[in-house]
Structure 1
Amino acid sequence: MFGKCGDIEVAREIFHGLWRPNLFSWTMILAACARNGRNLEALLLVRRMIGEGARPDVVCFVTILDLCAATADLEQGKVAHAWILACGVESSSRVLGNALINMYGKCRNLDLARAQFDRMEHQDHGRDVVTWNSLLAAFTHNGYLEEAARLFQEMEVEGIKPSSVTLTCVLESCSGDRQGKLFHDRVLDLGLQGDEFLMNSLVKMYARCGRLEESRLVFRAIDQKDIISWNVMISLEARLGSSEEAVELLREIDLEGFPEPDEVTFISVVDACSCLGDLDLCFTIQELVSSAGFDDDLLLGNAVVNMFGKSGCLDAARATFDRLPVKNVVSWNCLISGYAQNLQGRRCLELFRQMDQEGVKANSVTFVSLLDACSTIPALDFGRELHLRITAAGLELHTVVATALINMYGKCQELQLAQELLERYQSTGLRDSVTWNAIAAAYAQNGHPLEALELFWRMQQQGVRAQEATFVTILDACGDSSSLLAHGRSIAKLSSWTSDAIKGALLGMYSKCGCVDDALAALQSLSSRGLLAWTSMLAAYAHVGRASEALRVLGQMQHDGVVPDDVAFSAVVFACSHAGLLHEALVRLAWVSGDYGTAMGAGLYECVVDVLARMGRLQEAEELMHAMPYEPDSLAWMALLGACTVHGDLERGARTAGHEALLDSGSGRYVLLSNMYASWED
């Protein structure tokens, strides 16, 4: 009685007070321990039971086998099986045989599970559907999915009618939507569509096979959906990227008023909201979490902090964090990661100091976020300090941490340190393309494309499989110089990827190298053309001075509904200006603030200056140089000086040549000044 009521201490006291426990007493105390999670204690009692020469019956043996299964204690399970054989009761009970199969399956010994299953075929009691289900569960839970599918076929041949448990097991072994449809039909044939647990398994099976629409249809067909059914569907929608649908399902629950959302429901919805960037929705979900009484739930609180961080609302993330009654390392990681993702690197470092003061031990996730923060500041000294802490924690050669370290050193322009870390990582026998990609990106981003290429070819020689990101990085590096174009073409042939990321990298490479025909072919091969792809194509035409083609591409871009930004307009205006199509350039410039309301960047301002200067409107060009909200670079001032030379404006030319931006521009300004004075004298 006390064991069933959860008062295990009283039950133990009564049992240990018995002078000579009988079989009933042993069985009750073992069951009480199992029911209250005292499995290891129960196994110690089993050893004592053996020592005292007790002779268990079938019920007691089943309890012992279930304890061995719960603790995955194979050796104790074998001892129990030998004891069963010694007592001569194995062949007397099918229930005992089923418990043996279950125990061996939970202990991951499928050979012994199968042997027990085969032995039962020749015993008087034979095998029933539970026997088959026990072995099916053993196969599926241990990842032997093909064996589970074959066993189900054996079962059908034997004429054993499947139960809902059978079909739940085989749905886990389903390897394709065609096979899944056959199992679904079997569910309908047997009239089992009223079993919610089985229908939830069908929902998950279709999602696993990439058939989300079928998952939704099965979910809608469940008559009485409990919270588990809703949670299954909401988590699937969130995990597969259908965040809006996940949130909509929560609204449905709210409208129906039943069932009550639980912690699992809200965690899935909060994760979905993290991907939407809708702050109003985030605050609404937070209110629902609070009204449901989950304010003190640490797991859910951490998820809300993460949601606000990913949505860019750092004040709300910090306020939620501060309200948590208890904080663990995950809480700190969620907040630090939020600041890191929103490029608030210095706040990340401050939080880490505070975390240190409060005695919370950082883990690999903490260090990765902090290293990312150091990369954006950049903060090399703090990065070095973190490296020492990481090494002391034994995490330096952890793949994700090593990659973040290499990336940090690369962003801080410490390529030698990044290279040394990669070599140390490799010296341990580890081969991971993610770390290779990090060092290749470091070389490429710091203007060392040859070193990035050398690393790539070393990867090939050492048999390290390059990831998609690696190809994108190297192809981008090959675009830095026309002399590397041949390498880029060779690398493109090595890539087996057909994704838009690779095609976009090829487009960028061809664009920077002026290979407009190849760039156009890459653009046309893209399944989806975004702003970056169109802008790369415009830049390619601008690079070779083909203004009419640039204007045509701009028209196609607008037709596709892609709104040009200031970089796209800069490429078009540059092409028109240098081709002498000054009127066309001015028309496109009028579109920027008029039709599109696009914010003008420094590059576009300088394009306007260039157009005005070429048209001889030098006063307007000079006024714009002084009025623009950016500091014009030396190239812009040189363009104005060149225009003063062409149009013979000596006074403005002299004033422009004396600007501080041109003082370190080399001999170029002197050549232009000389030409201007010579033309004036003529």
Structure 2
Amino acid sequence: MASSALPAKALTGITTIPQFPQNPKTLILHRCKTSRDLNQVHAHLIKTRLLLNPAITENLLESAALILPNAMDYALSIFNNVDEPDSLAYNIIIRSLTFKQSPLDAIVLFHKMLENSVQPDEFTFSSILKACSRLRALGEGEQVHAHIVKCGFKSNGFVVNTLIHMYASCGELQVARQVFDELHERAVMAWNSMLAGYVKNERWGEVVKLFRKMLELEIGFDEVTLISVLTACGRVANLELGEWIGDYIEANGLKGNIALVTSLVDMYAKCGQVDSARQIFDRMDRRDVVAWSAMISGYGQANRCREALDLFHDMQKAKVDPNEVTMVSVLYSCAVLGALDTGKWVDFYIKKKNMKLTVTLGTALIDFYAKCGCVDDAVEVFNRMPSVNVFSWTALIQGLASNGQGKRALEYFQLMQEKNIKPNDVTFIAILSACSHAGLVEEGRNLFASMNKDFGIEPRIEHYGSMVDILGRAGLIEEAYQFIKNMPIQPNVVVWRTLLASCRAQKNVEIGEESLQQIIRLETPHSGDYILLSNIYASAGRRQDALRVRNQIKERRIEKVTPGCSLIELDGVIYEFFAEDKVCPHSEEVYNATHDMMKRIEAAGYVPNAADGRLDAEDDDKQQASVSHHSEKLAIAFGLIRTRPGTTLRISKNLRVCTDCHNATKLISKVFSREIIVRDWNRFHHFKEGSCSCNDYW
């Protein structure tokens, strides 16, 4: 050993070790807690020439490479000065390089090992296959496989498990299954490796199928097996098998395994059984960040976003630090609810904790800001992301489109192509939507044509619907109607409803009537379809026909399936309002504020549109009164009295904004000098100084 290769301070402080044992393994592996301890032992081994003993050198290597943090360079300096390292020394360094995120260096060292004619063993092959897995280095993995066969390890269960894992990590599931099937004796670890491979590649049906085969062959399984199978059950909504595993966990006293119980919570949540998931979650003795994230995600997926945010606040009170998965789920719920304050806190937390702005997390932030109407913030997040993919670009383009910034969306779509990012079918839905909202007819036609011609993307029904919307918004109703008639696929009710909405804006009675008939032919229509036709008649001066259609709603007892609901977030608290809801906690305050608000805009020229009133109202006066109590008006009035003058109000609504509320909100924005951003089920409306960003077409 050449001592010159070591740090100069390595020879100091030897006297602090009072009695150096003849066999220092225990001292090296268990008492070396710091680099200084390691330096002292290393110096003594050099001085006493014990370092010439391979076993002692390997103990020192193991301590430096695997036990102490940030000592990898030190370990390599020791290894590089060993005259003829054996397989154990190579194994320690290869394993450590793989474990410490340097798998490429591990592969290079393995090749050096072979060049030096050092015989690899089962531990070598296991470690180097893990390195190949991390890099998805299929070619190198296949070479290692050849060495495994050559060295006689093809039946070694320990080696074969990592071989299966390597092929699965590289997406070669057929080869992984072939290796698995050729095993004469399959221990549970082999089954788990194959199941994990299917999980990694999202082959959920194969996971369930393989587990059923395990049960059929009466192969014993363990908790690792059940975690894989529960994950698959959640993805394919196999509640029956998931419940069977839940009963097994209960009967066999496995509830102490936090990872297993968390998988059970996730399974129930993904199968739509959120309350069952919550019961299990509440009974857990310990809950780590994964358990909290699974439950929060479950609420979000079930569209119970308020409960998701409530649980997130409980998580904070429990002092459990969120991770990226938690943040993505919370941002999703914030986006659905329009909870700007909570989402902004998440963004602040990410910056404060220096969390890596991954593609997934960054895209969730873009989507959140866009759905809260904060377009510039969405662009800022996009610009600060270290890397972006097609989903990030699509989220930004869609956000710009839904906020009425169609031309800016087109600029980013062009920039996306300049960056050689190929758009996908969802990107085209976004960019066609941008053309629709901005009235860019010719651009929309060209983009629709380029989908198949330039990008090989076959248009789906959503793309055809977007083209109908583009033409209809531009007043080209007849062309839109002929476009539908010439579609190569059967138009659905969404396409016909899009045309019906266009007819309302353009007062086209004939095609409006035809659109409703087509909707009735395809499915049971809802009240909104009849109201649209009624409004078309009214706008064309055919009041009797308008009343006739509205009476049909009553006669046929066609009810609004989903009640109108509007949300507003104030100081981190989300308030929910329903049309004519008299039992909300602040009802008296809200209705008084709404009354005053309506009086002020009436003085400015507002005239209620009785046609948008409650269908069961007995007369025009009651219909007009009901119009004043639509959910977004209640939310806006509450926001006006609970915020300082000039504060922007942000409202989220679950239905399309009606004509009366749209007209009223324009006047409210002018009379009260407020910017009001309303997000309905289709798009954003930015009201300011008496006008709306949608140009009165939505």
TM-score, normalization by structure 2 = 0.65
Q: 1:430 to 1:629 in 2, by over 3 A?
A: same
Q: Pick from 388, 397, 411: which aligns with 1:475?
A: 397
Unpaired segments ≥5 residues, structure 1? 1-46, 403-424, 641-653, 668-682
**What amino acid maps onto 2:118 in structure 1?**
I
Counterpart for residue 63 of structure 2: 103
Q: Spell out the pairing of 1:593-632 with structure 2 (5 A cutoff).
A: 593-594=520-521, 596-597=522-523, 600-601=525-526, 603-609=528-534, 618=545, 620-624=548-552, 626=554, 628-630=558-560
Question: In the alignment, which residue of structure 1 is the partner of 2:429?
Answer: 504
2: CA distance between counterparts of 1:351 and 1:442? 19
Q: Which moved more, 1:107-116 or 1:367-376?
A: 367-376
- Residues 508 and 519 in structure 1, CA contact (< 8 A), matched pair in contact too: no
**What displacement does 1:520 show?**
0.8
Matching of residue 139 in structure 1 with residue 100 in structure 2:
no
Inter-CA distance 219–664: structure 2 relative to 1 (3 Å threshold): closer
Q: Secondary structure at the match of 1:120?
A: coil
CA distance in structure 1 between the aligned counterparts of 2:498 and 2:660, rounded to whole angstroms: 28
1:298 correspondence with 2:298: no
Displacement of 1:136 = 2.6
- CA-CA distance at 1:257 after TM superposition: 1.1
2:24 is the alignment partner of 1:61: yes
Structure 2 counterpart SS, 1:508: helix
Aligned partner (choices 567, 574, 583) of residue 494 of structure 2 = 567
Q: Contact 1:274–1:308 (CA<8 Å) still a contact in 2?
A: yes
Q: Look up the match of 1:151.
A: 109
Task: Kindly indicate whether residue 198 of structure 2 is the aligned counterpart of residue 209 of structure 1.
Answer: no
Deviation at 1:194, TM superposition (A): 0.5
How do 1:209-288 and structure 2 match up within 5 A? 209-259=170-220, 261-288=221-248
The residue type paired with residue 315 of structure 1 is: D
Alpha-carbon distance, 1:195 to partner:
1.0
Q: Is the 8 A contact 1:569 1:604 kept in 2?
A: no
**Counterparts of 1:163 and 1:247, CA distance in 2:** 34
Quick check: 2:461–2:489 contact (8 Å CA) kept in 1?
no
Which residue of structure 2 lines up, in the alignment, with residue 411 of structure 1? none
Partner letter of residue 539 of structure 1? D
Tell me, yes or no, if the aligned pair for 1:504 and 1:523 is still in contact at 8 Å.
no
For 2:397, the aligned partner's letter is L
How far did residue 294 of structure 1 move?
Answer: 1.9
Partner of 1:11: none
Displacement of 1:116: 3.6
Tell me how far apart the structure 2 counterparts of residues 445 and 294 of structure 1 sit (CA, whole Å).
Answer: 42
Alignment of 1:343 onto 2:303? yes
Match of 2:24, SS state, is: helix
Q: Is the helix fraction higher in 1 or 2?
A: 1
Alignment check: 8 A CA contact 2:481 2:511 kept: no
CA RMSD of aligned residues (A): 4.9
- The 1:435/1:321 distance shift into structure 2, 3 A limit, reads closer
Give the structure, 1 or 2, with the largest relative contact order (CA under 8 Å, sep 6 or more): 2
Give yes or no for the alignment of 1:165 onto 2:123: yes
SS for the counterpart of 2:127 is helix
Alpha-carbon displacement from aligned partner over 1:61-94 (angstroms, at most 9, x marks no partner): 23333336xx664332332222223333332x33
CA contact (8 A) 1:234 1:268 kept: yes
Residue 189 (structure 1) aligned with residue 150 (structure 2): yes
- Structure 1 residues 572 and 285: alpha-carbon distance in aligned structure 2, compared to 1, 3 A threshold: farther
The answer to whether the Cα contact below 8 Å between 1:569 and 1:592 also exists between their aligned partners in 2 is yes
Deviations 1:81-120 (A, max 9, x none): 22223333332x3322333333332245444434444443
2-side partners of 1:83 and 1:369: how far apart? 54
2:315 equivalent to 1:364? no
Where 1:173 maps in the other structure, the secondary structure is helix
- Partner of 2:184, secondary structure, is coil
Secondary structure at 1:629 match in 2: coil
Of 467, 476, 492, 1:537 maps to 467
Partner of 1:87: 48
In structure 2, do the counterparts of structure 1 residues 551 and 578 end up closer, same or farther at CA, with 3 Å as the change threshold?
farther
* Residue equivalent to 2:449: 521
| Partners of 1:305 and 1:334 within 8 A in 2 | yes
Matches of 1:624 and 1:287, distance apart in 2: 52
Q: How many residues align?
A: 550
For the 8 Å contact 1:329–1:360, the answer to whether it is kept is no
- Distance of 2:558 and 2:485 partners within structure 1: 26
1:507–1:554 Cα change, 3 Å: farther
| Greater displacement, 191-200 / 573-582 | 573-582
Alpha-carbon distance in structure 1 between the residues aligned to 2:157 and 2:387: 44
> Is the Cα–Cα contact under 8 Å of residues 247 and 273 in structure 1 kept in the other structure?
yes
The alignment's TM-score, normalised by the length of structure 1, stands at: 0.66
User: Residue 489 of structure 2 aligns with which residue?
Assistant: 558
Once the two structures are superposed, the pairs formed by residues 380-419 of structure 1 within 5 Å of their partners are 397-399=348-350
1:281 Cα deviation from its structure 2 partner: 4.0
Given that 2:382 and 2:396 are in contact with CA atoms closer than 8 Å, whether structure 1 keeps it comes out as no
The answer to which of 288-297 and 363-372 deviates more is 363-372
- CA distances 1:555-602 after superposition (whole Å, capped 9, x unpaired): 75636xxx83x43221245568999998887676555454x54x5455
Paired with 2:61 and 2:558, the residues of 1 have a C-alpha distance of 79
2:159 matched to which residue of 1? Answer: 198
Choose the corresponding residue for 2:270, options 310, 321, 344. 310
- Say whether the 8 Å CA contact 1:609–1:636 is kept in structure 2: no
Q: Which amino acid aligns with 1:88?
A: R
Cα deviations across residues 410-444 of structure 1 (Å, max 9, x unaligned)?
xxxxxxxxxxxxxxx79x99988889877865665
* One-letter code aligned to 2:205: E
Q: How many angstroms does 1:362 deviate by?
A: 4.8
Q: Higher strand proportion, which one?
A: 2
CA displacement 1:468-493 (0-9 Å, x = unmatched): 55533442354325665664555444
Contact 2:25-2:59 at 8 Å conserved across structures: yes
CA distance change for structure 1 residues 529 and 208 in 2, over 3 Å: closer, same or farther? farther
Distance 1:508 1:149 in 2: 49
Change (3 A) 1:90 1:185: same
Cα deviation per residue 1:202-252 (whole Å; 9 max; x = unaligned)?
122223323333323322333322222222222332233222222222222
Deviates more, 1:622-631 or 1:308-317: 622-631
Which residue number in structure 1 is paired with residue 17 of structure 2? 50
Asked if 2 retains the 8 angstrom alpha-carbon contact of 1:541 and 1:550, the reply is: no
Secondary structure at the aligned position of 1:398 is classed as helix
Q: Which residue of 1 aligns with 2:138?
A: 177
Give distance in 1, aligned partners of 2:176 and 2:281: 36
Identity among equivalent positions (%) equals 19
Shift in alpha-carbon separation, 1:464–1:217, aligned structure 2, 3 A: closer
Residues in 2 aligned to 1:293 and 1:308: alpha-carbon distance in whole angstroms: 19
Amino acid at match of 1:137: R
